[in-house]
Each structure stands twice: as C-alpha cells, then as structure tokens.
Amino acid sequence: MLDIEKIYDRYFDEIFNYILKRVLNVALAEDLAGVVFMKVVDKIDTYDPDKASVRTWIYSITNNELIDYYRRKRIKKPYDDLKPFLKDEDVLKEIQKKQDKLQKNKLYKDILAILDKKLSMEERDIIIMHYIEGMKYKEISEIKDLNENTLRSKAHRALKKVKNLIDLEKRGLK
C-alpha cells in the first residue's frame, strides 16, 4: 500500500513547479496541484507498479488535469516569464545575476513565443518536457502514452522546426 503522505512530500513541489511552468500563475498552479493530489488520493487503489513508476503515474494525472483545464477554459498556454527572485546578499552579484537572467528570460520568452505560435500543443509539451525540463524520452512516452520511437521522431521534427523558425526570426524573415 502506498503512503500518500510520503508521496505528497516527495512529489508536490515537483508537480507544482511542472504546472507553474505551464500556467505561470502561482495561485492557479497551487489549485491545479491540489486537484492533482486529490485525484492521486482518489485513484491510489488503481495504481499499478507494473505499468509505471509512481512519479510517471502522477505526471500522467497532472498532464491529464492540465489538458482538462485548457479544454475547460479554451485558452492557450501563456508563456510569459516570471520575475526572478534574487536572494544573494551581494548587490553587485544580484545585479549581474538579474542581467544574466533577463537575457536568458528574453531568449526563453522569444523561443516560447515561437513555440506558442508555430507548434502544436503536443510539440510544445515534448520540447519543454525533454529539452527544458530534462525529462527522458522513456518517461515522456509513458506520460503522453506514445511509443518512444514515435516520440523521438516528433521531438526531432519539432526541434528542427524551432531551429528553422529561430533562424528565420533572426534574419527578420518571419
């Protein structure tokens, strides 16, 4: 029998951050994470360790909840960056970190704007999950319920599309 308290302690922050990267609203991310864990509690008896790890199972529930949320709201995913929160005591280091972060955020925002405009939701999710969040193809294939080779092909095509779009944007052609 799975211990729901241990599961919650182990995965809540990770799931919250996963959701936050997609909705970019702290209160909404907290609400959706809460719904996910209520579903985990409700469905704990249906978990089958032979089919997936606990982490993958929870990500599947999370992914389905996000899909349901966007269907209910009929909105696109917002990809504006959150303001960085700096905790360093040294003001000069903070300024440099903030400048570096702003440059990275601008690039990230530009890339996400391209993703949002030119890629399907599935392509965006694959790119974000693998290349930004560092998830393995095997895990993503389980979450998305796709064949791993199919997923790799989709990721490769989506990444190629992103590179071409970024190239065209830099040249001012799109």
Domain extent listing, the chain? 4-73, 91-170
Cβ(98)–Cβ(86) under 8 Å?
yes
Residue 89 three-state SS? coil
Residue 112 has pLDDT above 90, yes or no: no
Q: What is the pLDDT of residues 79-109, one digit of tens each?
A: 334 334 434 445 555 556 666 666 666 666 6
**CATH fold match for the domains 4-73 and 91-170:** no
| Least reliable range by pLDDT among 11-15, 38-42, 109-113 | 109-113
Q: What angle do CA 27, 128, 23 make, to 5 degrees?
A: 15
The CATH architecture one would assign to domain 91-170 is Orthogonal Bundle (1.10)
Residue 24 has pLDDT above 60, yes or no: yes
pLDDT at 107: 66
Q: What's the CATH class of domain 4-73? A: mainly alpha
pTM of the shown model: 0.51
> What percentage of residues in the chain have a pLDDT greater than 70?
70
Residue 75 has pLDDT above 60, yes or no: no
CB-neighbour burial class of residue 140 (10 A; exposed 0-12, middle 13-18, buried 19+)? buried
Structure tokens at 158: 């989506």
